[in-house]
Amino acid sequence: MDFSLLFSHFPELTITGLAYGAIYALIALGYTLVYGVLRLINFAHSEVFMYGAFAAVWVLMALGGGKASGLGIAGYLLIAFLSAMTVSALIALLLERVAYRPLRKRNSPPLIALISAIGASFALSEAMGLRDKPFKWFGQENAFQDYVGRPREASPFPLKIDVVRLFSIGNYQVSNIDLIVLGAAIVMMIVLDQFVNRSRLGRGIRAVAQDPEAAALMGVNRDRVIRLTFVLGGAMAGAAAVMYLLKVGQVRYNSGFLLGVKAFTAAVLGGIGNLRGALLGGFILGVAENYGQAVFGGEWRDVVAFTLLVVILLFRPTGLLGESLGKARA
Amino acid sequence: MLLEVEDLSVNYGRIEAIRGVSFTVDEGEVVTLIGANGAGKTTTMKTVSGLRPVRTGTIRFEGQDITTMPAHERPVLGIAQSPEGRGCFVGMTVIENLDMGAYARKDRKSPAVKEDLERVFGLFPRLAERRTQVAGTMSGGEQQMLAIGRALMASPKLLLLDEPSMGLAPKLIQQIFDIITEINKQGTTVLLVEQNAAQALKRANRAYILETGEIIREGTGEELANDPAVKAAYLGGDV
């Protein structure tokens, strides 16, 4: 244990922790939204994130985003966000249609839906990891090599943004990437929060989460609300995917797994079913991981995250902002 | 006829909850279904509003067959329900709950909604005082008022009230029934399910008695209130 690193690098650890936390938080929103209306942990949500990241990588490759400079970078970044969010939302919608709705219509017990979720997660992840195979079956080994070749290895994000140090907080120079990630995350969170709390459809989501039968009596179409939560959660995961690419620079067919588990942890930490809880949980987890890493060493990063979860749940079984489920504000 | 229920049977799994239930509600009436716990009153109500699937029988509203129509489409026709146990959205404020009542209205952006809100606040001044309070923090009586007010926000042709007096203090029960009479006077047809048979019969034009899933008696409220057998079974011999 060495606390000197924690104290000497405190501003840096906090800001980079918040940036990672923002990514966890955006993914956590998807878990918590779907849990709110379906009481289901959508374990395949990690794959929704991963597909969004690949969508951003491929669209920018196709458009030649690697050569961008100056203002062009901003344009390509916007395209990356739009394509990742769209594809993630569509994958989430497909997942609901194929893996969950048929079970729901047959009134399956929750455990069955959970198994379906885990199965869908593996299927989606492996489909990405074996994406060269269909081309081989049809004798097209050389087609789209840049996109589907070496499917088990990481695909780099084509957009290269030079790190610019803008200003300093303490002894840490805040970079443009930190600001883009944090800024975009905060914009997304505000938009979603306002949508759920102010708009008519958002109120429909909250109504279904709080009392599905009463919501039906008000004329809320539950199936439509469920689809909407998958789309919203998917879009947030897509945005998180681009931020991840900005921070990490590459994505792999199995990149979703650990990130998904962390985001799920963040959702539970904050109180699952509660949107603001998911945000709080994400930020706390990101920062705590960084502090823990500084004190115990990098290989302890994940241990710190999950130990934190266990300790908090010991004292607050419903999470930081979670109330008893019946009263949870979705 | 506003509502015609014919030969309705509903199951919970293999258990028959109601069997061959038929009744009608005419425009402008207050009709009540009374019966003991487990007689099938709430099942009947939930089936009329579409929350329970029908095994056999038909439900017609203004002549239209709605037996298999999904629950969330029925408020558009003019059916609103204040469910058993109130079913308030506990995480929402009073005003948000009332807004939810108007969720399905086609004219939700028109001034008519504002007028209905004023009407609800007129009937329940308590709700006007508490408009920004979160529903989950209110008393049972206030939540009951909210549930009825929320149903009225749909501007329904038929208002379904499931056990509005449940768990309330006697003074409040009297008040709630007075308001139900007032709502009916303002032109809304009411179908009322109650365990408090004395009050329900006093307020109703017509009444049906449910026992173990079947309708065993029907008549005007007054007839049933003065019937010796009904008195003995449901009114404790004292009206």
Question: What tokens appear for A179 in the block?
Answer: 């600001």
Question: What tokens appear for B62 in the block?
Answer: 């203004």
Q: Average pLDDT of chain B?
A: 94
Taking an 8 Å cut-off on Cβ atoms, the answer to whether A207 and B89 are in contact is: yes
Helix (H) or strand (E) holding B149: helix B140-152
Nearest CA-CA distance, residue A254 and chain B, Å: 38
Nearest CA in chain B to A218: B101
Nearest CA-CA distance, residue B215 and chain A, Å: 25
Summarize pLDDT for A83-108 with one digit per residue, the tens: 999 999 999 999 999 999 999 999 89
Question: Average pLDDT, stretch B95-104?
Answer: 96
Tell me what pLDDT residue A184 has: 94
Kindly indicate whether the domain formed by A4-130+171-315 is annotated with CATH number 1.10.1740. Answer: no
| Contact indicator for B49, B113 with CB cutoff of 8 Å | no
Tell me what pLDDT residue A324 has: 44
Tell me what pLDDT residue A323 has: 62
Question: Interface pTM (ipTM) of the complex?
Answer: 0.93
Q: What is the DSSP letter of B137?
A: G
What pTM does this model have? 0.92
Nearest CA in chain B to A201: B103
Q: Spell out which residues of chain A touch residue B99, defining contact as CB-CB under 8 Å.
A: 203
Taking an 8 Å cut-off on Cβ atoms, the answer to whether A211 and B100 are in contact is: no
Q: Which residues contact B118 (CB under 8 A, 6 or more apart)?
A: none
Q: Which residues contact B20 (CB under 8 A, 6 or more apart)?
A: B7, B8, B9, B57, B214
* Domains of chain A, residue spans: 4-130+171-315
Nearest CA-CA distance, residue B109 and chain A, Å: 12
* CA–CA separation, A310 and A314 (whole Å): 6
Taking an 8 Å cut-off on Cβ atoms, the answer to whether A218 and B75 are in contact is: yes
Residue B239 has pLDDT above 70, yes or no: no
Question: What tokens appear for A165 in the block?
Answer: 């140090």
* Positions in chain A whose pLDDT score sits under 70: 323-330
Q: Average pLDDT of chain A?
A: 92
* CA–CA separation, A253 and B137 (whole Å): 47
Q: What is the DSSP letter of B36?
A: -
- Give all domains of chain B, ordered by start, each with its CATH number: 1-78+189-234 (3.40.50.300), 79-155 (no CATH)
Tell me what pLDDT residue A95 has: 97
* CA–CA separation, A112 and A108 (whole Å): 6
Helices (H), chain A: 3-8, 10-38, 45-62, 71-95, 101-105, 110-129, 133-137, 145-148, 176-198, 200-210, 212-217, 222-248, 255-270, 275-296, 301-315
Using CB atoms, pick whichever of B75, B76, B92 lies closest to residue A217: B75
3-state secondary structure A254-287: CHHHHHHHHHHHHHHHHCCCCHHHHHHHHHHHHH
- Edge-to-edge strands of the sheet including B79-82? B79-82, B158-162, B189-194, B30-34, B206-211, B214-220
| Contact indicator for B81, A217 with CB cutoff of 8 Å | yes
> CA angle at residue A222 from B152 to B141, to 5 degrees?
35
